[in-house]
C-alpha cells in the first residue's frame, strides 16, 4: 500500500509526463518535415551544381526547425487569445485551449524559440554576409504575421501563400545560396515546388477544420473557396511540384523518374482518402502528406549525390 507521499510523487510524475506530451503536441512534429524539406531541397540543388558544405546546411536546418516551432507556438497562443480555438476541436489537441499549458508559458516558449532561431541565424553571417540579418528579420516577422498582427495571414485566406514563400522559396533559395554564393532559376523552381507541397499540409488542416473555422469567422481558403476547391488545389499542387522538379530528376538520370511516379501515385491515393473522409480521420492524411513530401525530397537529394564526384 502506498503512503501519501508516494501517491503525491506518482501524481507529480503523471503531471510531468502529461505536460511533456502537451509541449510535444504543441511543436506539431507531424508538420516539421515541411521546414526540413526546404533545406534538404536547397542542398540537393546545390549538390547537382557540385557544391556541398555540411556546416551551413546543418545550421539552416536547425534555424528552419526552430522558426517553425516558434511559429507553431505563436499560432496556438494567438488563436487561443483571440478565441479561435475551442476545446474538443477536430484537429490535434491544443495544449493552451485544453488547459494543459498556460497562455503565459506558451507566450514565453514562442519568444524562446524565435530567440534560438535568431541566434542560429546569426551564425550563418559567416558564410552569407551581414545582409542575412535583414533576411532573418523578414523571416521572423513573417512567422509571427501568420497568426498575429493587424492582418494575420492565416485568418485572411493567405496562409497557403505564406507557406509557399516561407517554407518553399526562402529555405530552398537561401540554403542554396549559402552553399554556392549565388541564386539560380533551379533553386527558385524547386523552392516553388516545395512550397506547394508544404501548402498541401495546410490545405488538409483547413479542409478538416472548415466547420470550426467558419463558426468563428476564421477566413481560411477552405472557408472562402470551399472544401471542393481546396481539395482540387491539393491534387494540382502535387502534380505541379513534380513538373517543377522534373529537370533535376532528369539530370540525375531517367531511371530516377520512378520516384516522382511513386510520389504521384501515393499523392493521388491521399487525395482520394481526403475526399472520402472528414474530422479526426484527416489527421492521418495531414501527417502522411508531410512525410510523403520529405521522402520525395530525400530521394531527390540521394540521387543527386553522384554529381559531387563528377563535378569535382
pLDDT value of position 264: 98
Residue 231 CB neighbours (<10 A): 18
- In a domain, residue 2? The reply is no
CA distance 12 to 257: 54
- In a domain, residue 23? The reply is no
Q: CA 91 from chain center: how many Å?
A: 16
In tens, the pLDDT along 166-187 reads 999 999 999 999 999 999 999 9
pLDDT value of position 57: 98
pLDDT value of position 88: 66
CA distance 172 to 170: 6
The better pLDDT of the pair 2, 115 is held by 115
Per the structure, the count of domains in the chain is 1
Handedness of CA 288, 145, 40, 106 (dihedral sign): negative
- In a domain, residue 28? The reply is no
In tens, the pLDDT along 250-307 reads 999 999 999 999 999 999 999 999 999 988 899 999 999 999 999 999 999 999 999 8
CA distance 60 to 40: 9
**Does position 67 have pLDDT exceeding 80, yes or no?**
yes
- In a domain, residue 133? The reply is yes
Q: Which of 5-9, 137-141, 238-242, 278-282 has the lowest mean pLDDT?
A: 5-9
In tens, the pLDDT along 90-121 reads 667 778 888 888 999 999 999 999 999 999 99
CA distance 123 to 188: 24
CA distance 273 to 53: 40
CA distance 134 to 24: 31
The better pLDDT of the pair 5, 272 is held by 272
- In a domain, residue 199? The reply is yes
pLDDT value of position 112: 97
The pTM of the full predicted model, rounded to 2 decimals, is 0.90
The grid cell for 66 is 526552430
- In a domain, residue 96? The reply is yes
- In a domain, residue 218? The reply is yes
Asked if residues 240 and 196 have their Cβ atoms less than 8 Å apart, the reply is yes
Residue whose entry in the numeric block shows the C-alpha cell 510523403: 292
DSSP-derived secondary structure letter, 219: B
In tens, the pLDDT along 201-248 reads 999 999 999 998 898 899 999 999 999 999 999 999 999 999 999 999
Q: CA 216 from chain center: how many Å?
A: 24
Residue 158's domain spans which residues?
Answer: 39-306
Three-state DSSP state, 156? strand
- In a domain, residue 27? The reply is no
- Say which CATH number the domain at 66 has: 1.10.600
Amino acid at each position: 500500500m502506498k503512503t501519501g507521499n508516494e501517491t503525491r510523487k506518482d501524481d507529480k510524475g503523471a503531471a510531468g509526463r502529461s505536460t511533456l506530451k502537451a509541449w510535444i503536441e504543441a511543436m506539431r512534429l507531424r508538420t516539421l518535415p515541411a521546414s526540413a524539406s526546404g533545406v534538404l531541397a536547397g542542398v540537393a540543388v546545390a549538390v547537382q551544381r557540385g557544391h556541398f558544405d555540411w556546416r551551413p546546411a546543418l545550421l539552416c536546418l536547425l534555424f528552419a526547425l526552430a522558426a517553425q516551432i516558434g511559429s507553431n507556438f505563436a499560432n496556438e497562443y494567438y488563436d487561443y487569445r483571440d478565441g479561435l480555438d475551442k476545446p474538443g476541436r477536430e484537429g490535434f489537441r491544443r495544449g493552451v485551449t485544453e488547459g494543459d499549458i498556460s497562455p503565459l508559458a506558451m507566450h514565453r516558449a514562442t519568444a524562446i524559440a524565435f530567440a534560438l532561431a535568431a541566434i542560429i541565424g546569426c551564425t550563418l553571417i559567416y558564410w552569407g554576409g551581414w545582409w542575412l540579418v535583414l533576411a532573418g528579420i523578414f523571416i521572423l516577422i513573417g512567422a509571427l504575421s501568420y497568426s498575429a498582427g493587424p492582418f494575420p495571414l492565416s485568418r485572411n485566406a493567405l496562409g497557403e501563400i505564406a507557406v509557399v514563400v516561407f517554407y518553399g522559396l526562402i529555405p530552398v533559395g537561401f540554403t542554396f545560396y549559402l552553399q554556392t554564393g549565388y541564386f539560380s532559376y533551379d533553386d527558385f523552381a524547386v523552392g516553388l515546388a516545395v512550397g506547394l507541397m508544404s501548402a498541401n499540409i495546410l490545405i488538409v488542416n483547413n479542409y478538416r477544420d472548415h466547420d470550426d473555422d467558419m463558426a468563428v469567422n476564421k477566413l481560411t481558403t477552405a472557408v472562402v473557396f470551399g472544401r471542393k476547391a481546396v481539395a482540387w488545389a491539393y491534387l494540382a499542387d502535387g502534380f505541379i511540384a513534380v513538373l517543377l522538379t522534373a529537370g533535376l530528376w532528369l539530370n540525375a538520370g531517367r531511371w530516377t523518374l520512378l520516384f516522382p511516379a511513386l510520389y504521384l501515385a501515393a499523392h493521388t491515393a491521399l487525395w482520394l482518402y481526403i475526399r472520402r473522409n472528414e474530422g479526426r480521420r484527416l489527421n492521418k492524411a495531414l501527417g502522411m502528406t508531410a512525410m510523403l513530401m520529405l521522402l520525395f525530397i530525400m530521394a531527390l537529394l540521394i540521387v543527386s549525390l553522384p554529381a559531387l564526384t563528377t563535378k569535382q
